[in-house]
Structure formats: structure tokens, C-alpha cells
Amino acid sequence: MVLHIKNMVCDRCILVVRQQLESLGFAVTDIDLGSATVQPEPDAAALAAIASALKVLGFELIDNEKDKLVERIKNLIIEKVHHSDLAEQQVNFSAYLADHLHKDYGQLSRQFSDSEDTTIEKFIIQQKIEKVKELLEYGELNLNEIAWKMGYSSSAHLSAQFKAVTGLTPSQFKSNGKGRRKALDKI
């Protein structure tokens, strides 16, 4: 049975969810951001136990189709923004999401906006800005390199978007921005 799980945003989430499911006596045959396949198939009592155990860790079982779709959209965006090089891929997110989810982008956009009170575009920008914050804190890349890596046309475009979202320029954030990053599941 495939369980759809909200707030799985990184490899550590996958590890924690796997450990929790295994501690409850389930074999995890497949696990990815937002989903886990378990055996044997849990009955209603076991599903309640899984939901309770995951909730303690900040995760949530998803049971309706609209929420599953919204979570898949989020996970695809997070995977692309945080775990790949956007510069090398020239990502068109609307085409990427439509292709991966086999749905019209307009439909995806409406369902996402209805559920999340934000647009897919704004969610992508927030994710990119969080990744930029992470890269700024590491201090290994300069702003031009970060802009290129994140798929921005220029460092000026990145700086303008960064300031619009955070209220700070990248250099202001770098000089006093420690501790201002958001958890990915809080965006």
C-alpha cells in the first residue's frame, strides 16, 4: 500500500519516516519524498497508529486526492530547487510539473492556489530564496555563481527578488542573516 505523507522535504525526512514505519512492523518497499510503500497493507487501526506516530514527528498522512496532488507539486519543486542544478537544466517549471503529473498546468495551478493560498510561482520563488540563503550561509560561492546555479538571468535579478521576499539584500542577509532561514515544510 502506498502511503502519502505531508512534509517530507529532504533525505533525512525519508530516513526518519522509514525508521518509524519499520518500528511499527512494516516493511518499506519503496520510499520517496511524499510517499512510502509498505507491506503488509495496514488496516484501519494500523493506519491510525501510523498517522499518530508520524504526527509526533511533524508529518501527516494525506488521504484525499487534491491534497495528494498539491503535496506532489511541492515535492517536485523542492526536489528540483534543492537537489539539482537549475542552471544546467534550464527548468521551465510549468512544463516540468505538467509532464511529471500528466495534467494541464492551469489545473495544477488552480488546485495549488485553492489549497495553499499562494501560487505555484510564489512557492517556487520562496523555495529558491531559501536555497539562496543556504548558499549564502555556506560562503563558498559568490552572488554571481549563486545566481547562475539557481537559474537566474543575473545577480541583479536574484538580488531584487531576494530583497522583495526577505526585505534584505543578499549582502545584508549574509552579514547578519544567521538563523533567518525557514524550514522547507514551513514555506
Mean pLDDT, the chain, whole residue set: 90
Return the pLDDT at 177.
58
Query: Does the fold of domain 65-187 match that of domain 2-63?
Result: no
Q: Residue 119: what are its φ and ψ, rounded to 5°?
A: -95, 165
Per-position b or e across 4-18, b if 16+ CB within 10 A of its CB: bbbbbbbeebbebbe
Structure-block grid coordinates of residue 67: 491534497
* Cell of residue 187, nine digits: 514555506
What residue ranges do the domains of the chain occupy?
Answer: 2-63, 65-187
> CA-CA distance, 150 to 128, in Å (whole number)?
7
Q: What are phi and psi of 180, to 5 degrees?
A: -100, 5
pLDDT of residue 175: 85
pLDDT for 81-101, tens place per residue? 988 777 666 778 999 999 999
Residue 37: strand pairing partners: 2, 30
Residues of the chain with pLDDT under 70: 87-89, 177-179, 181-187
pTM reported for the whole predicted model: 0.77
Domain over 65-187 is classified CATH 1.10.10.60: yes
Calpha distance 22→34 (Å, rounded): 17
pLDDT digits (tens, 9 = 90+) for 110-128: 999 999 999 999 999 999 9
Q: What's the CATH number of domain 2-63, 3.30.70.100, 3.40.50.2000, 1.10.10.10, 3.40.50.2300?
A: 3.30.70.100
Q: What tens digit of pLDDT does each residue of 154-167 get? A: 999 999 999 999 99
